[in-house]
Structure 1
Amino acid sequence: MKRFLPDTFILLMIAMVILAVIFPFPAADDSPINLTRIIAIGISLVFFLHGANLEREKLVSSVKKWRVHTLIQGMTFVLFPIIGLIIFFATGELLPDILRLGFFFLAALPSTISSSVALTGVARGNVPVAVFNATLSGLIGMIITPALMGIVSTTTMGGLSIGDAIVDIALTLLAPFVLGQLMRPIIAPILAKHKWILSRFDRGVILMIVYASFASSVLGGVWTQFSIMQFFVTAIIVMILLFAAIAVSIFASRRLNLSTEDEVATVFCGSTKSLANGAPIAQILFAGSPSLGLILLPLMLYHQLQLIVCAMLAQRYAEKQSLVANPAVE
């Protein structure tokens, strides 16, 4: 029966969604609880722990895995935009122009930075590959995303501060990761003795991200700015897009005979889209637009759905890896 029942982590994610709907106020701008800062600190600690837990030889070897990197970045900045163009032109009779623009904006965004690495860690995948591609995707996206938006948008675009974005990524991700590597001789024995620390912290950060993203959407009144039919069509397209991205990433990984660890990193880096990068970019590209909420709607739905679906998939990958490592358990 346990195979058919949700585990504790999935139940906690559902609880976070319900809590965000009932009590979203901690995510408000004037809340005494600065969730954004707490999550940022949590993300940095995740990268610090991954840096301390990672053997340097594995990180160096991951840089050489050009097939994995090409597949992930190709999905993010080639396959997704092509699908986004198809959706944009195919839904002219179903959705208003703003929502169609929102779908292409979703497709043009880089991969998640924190979630993809955390999910890869939960699934016992190749964390160095995930770290490398999450960082690379964020950097490339600062240039490629606005360029891609010029294909379908006539909105006046402001200039992106690429330098600030690089500094932000470096401070949030790379600096803690490098610090963890430097402190590995001290921290690694503790993590090896208490392996639960890293997995529990990964899950905790994901739960915070789920709560904050749902709570922010509730407070922003995103759900009141469109009709039920538009929401239904948008949700269906978002689900199809996500499941198609996951299916393609799994299929391509296995066609290339990638290891299970590399497949995990490919799935979570190649199929996810970043709300953390997407929201600030949208505020610059569509500054002053009264329909910014609707433009962000596909991204909001995709982001929240990807966290739930990918968390469930990560659990399945982790169980599979555990059975391979301990066949007697089965």
Structure 2
Amino acid sequence: MKAIFQKYWFFMGIAVVVLAAFAFPGWGTFVREWKILKIGIFLAFMLTGLKLETRSIGEQFKNVRVLAASLGSSLVLFPLVTAILVRALFGSVPDFVIGATLIAVAPVTVASGTVMTGIALGNVPLSLFICILGNCLAIFTIPFSLEFLLGTSQGIDLPVMHMLINLVLTVLLPTLIGQGLRMNQTIRNQVVVFKKQCSIFSQCIVLLIIFNAVSSSTEKLVGVGGMLVYVFCFMIGLHVLMLCLNYMISRALHLDRSSTAAFTIHTSQKTLTITYVVWAGYFMTLAPMGLIPAIAYHLTQMILDTLVAHKFRNAALRATRVETMRVATL
């Protein structure tokens, strides 16, 4: 039982926080008023900066094609594809249109994409490269992307510059603080010792985000009922589509097996934390159910990408065995 809990505690936690959100929706107000989640997100990004090992990605900067392709896929292609599809299928439900657009313009994940790449025996430095550059650039593209995609289709007038400053202070600043603290050898050693605890803390912040999102929209969620199933199916289909598109892009770039795994997996992922920062700051009142598509996408990528990573891993191991046998017969 203990082994099962340790392996699936996060998914069990999701069930608990969703039930708690419906049973005690007022707790969400308490979390917001006391800025508990805001402080937790700041600390989570500072821990991200502490954990990021940037020395290993230097060589990746030479590959301009991969840089352009990863940024173009994540920050241009993904939002455009999502905007077209979600308007066609959920045009009558603005909350879901806004929510899907929010997760689409967000950058790639920080931790899970790299972890999945490692499982796939992929190019981890390339994964970190995609992660760091994507997150830094997305902070500046998100306000303008939302203005373009939602300002034209939903008639929403966004405070672009205010949003940009807020993202810099909430996301970029704590990450840079973490990188600065990482320069201290003692602190860097402690991060290695408490790496697992840091990861658990970040996942707990995600659980708190899910709780806050559900508790703020319980009445509306009950009202839409079965449509939630369609939202989850849509986000699953969207993630599969992006995995396929990014795999084809990586093949067109003639990337090797390990780099293909990194590109396909990490470029297809999105971060829930930054999506929440934007939703909570500018869309919570306008679209109380707006974070539901983002939550659905987050769960989808955690489950599907684990399967994809193992598929890449098995293919790599088979190729290694074949090469070993070939060398042995020479």
Inter-partner Cα distance in structure 2 for 1:320 and 1:9: 28
User: Which of 72, 75, 83 is 1:74 aligned to?
Assistant: 72
Match of 2:12 among 12, 15, 28: 15
Q: Encode CA deviations 1:67-112: one digit per residue, 9 max, x unaligned.
A: 2221222112322233224314532xx6524146336524652224
- 1:301 pairs with one of 296, 300, 314: 296
- Of 61, 64, 75, which residue of structure 2 is paired with 1:63? 61
Residue 229 (structure 1) aligned to one of 218, 226, 229:
226
Of 79-88 and 278-287, more deviation after overlay is shown by 278-287
**What does the per-residue CA deviation read over 1:23-45, in whole Å, with 9 as the maximum and x for residues that have no partner?**
45697342589355345324422
Where do residues 156-305 of structure 1 align in structure 2 (5 Å cutoff)?
A: 156-161=157-162, 162-180=164-182, 182-183=183-184, 190=189, 198=195, 200-201=196-197, 203-205=199-201, 207-222=203-218, 224-259=221-256, 262-282=259-279, 286=283, 289=286, 292-305=287-300
SS of match in other structure, 2:30: coil
> How far is the alpha carbon of 1:237 from its aligned partner?
1.0
- Between stretches 242-251 and 102-111, larger displacement belongs to 102-111
Measure how far apart 1:302 and its partner are: 1.8
Structure 2 CA distance for partners of 1:177 and 1:322, relative to 1, 3 Å: farther
Q: Deviations over 1:115-137 (max 9, x none)?
A: 33343145322253022222222
| Alpha-carbon RMSD | 3.9
Aligned mates of 2:303, 2:310 — CA distance in 1: 11
Listed as ranges, the matches of 1:104-123 within 5 Å are 105-106=101-102, 108-112=104-108, 115-121=109-115, 123=117
Q: How far did 1:286 drift?
A: 4.8
- Measured in 1, the distance between the counterparts of 2:312 and 2:133 equals 21
Moved more, 142-151 or 311-320: 311-320
CA shift in 2, pair 1:324/1:202, >3 Å: farther
How far 1:311 moved relative to its partner? 5.2
- 3-state secondary structure, aligned to 2:8: helix
In 2 relative to 1, CA 123–64 (structure 1 residues): closer, same or farther, beyond 3 Å?
same
CA distance in structure 2 between the partners assigned to 1:320 and 1:35 by the alignment: 41
Give the counterpart letter for 1:154 in structure 2.
Answer: G
| 2:46 equivalent to 1:44 | yes
- Secondary structure of 1:156's counterpart equals coil
Distance 1:119-1:85 versus aligned 2 partners, 3 A rule:
closer
Amino acid at match of 1:293: P
Aligned-pair CA distance for 1:48: 0.9
Secondary structure at the aligned position of 1:28 is classed as helix
Q: Which has the higher helix share?
A: 2
The 1:295–1:209 alpha-carbon spacing in structure 2 relative to 1, beyond 3 Å, is: same
Cα gap change, 1:134/1:245 in structure 2, threshold over 3 Å: closer, same or farther? same
Question: Given that residues 249 and 266 in structure 1 are in contact (C-alpha distance below 8 angstroms), is that contact kept between their aligned partners in structure 2?
Answer: yes
* TM superposition shift of 1:47: 2.5
Total equivalences in the alignment: 306
Amino acid at match of 1:28: G
Counterpart residue type for residue 278 of structure 1:
T
Gaps of 5+ in 1: 1-5
Note if contact 1:119-1:311 (Cα within 8 Å) is conserved in structure 2. Answer: no
Gap change, CA 1:39 and 1:280, over 3 Å in 2: closer
The answer to whether the Cα contact below 8 Å between 1:9 and 1:203 also exists between their aligned partners in 2 is: no
**Which stretches in structure 2 are left out of the alignment for 5+ residues?**
119-123, 323-330
For residues 193 and 310 of structure 2, the distance between their equivalents in structure 1, rounded to whole angstroms, comes to 15
Return closer, same or farther for 1:35/1:153 CA change in 2, 3 Å cut-off. Answer: closer
SS in 2 for 1:294: coil
Aligned counterpart, 1:28: 28
2:121 aligns with: none
CA distance in 1, matches of 2:264, 2:85: 22
Say if 1:241 and 1:101 are closer, same or farther in 2 by CA, change over 3 A: same
Which AA in structure 1 matches 2:203? L
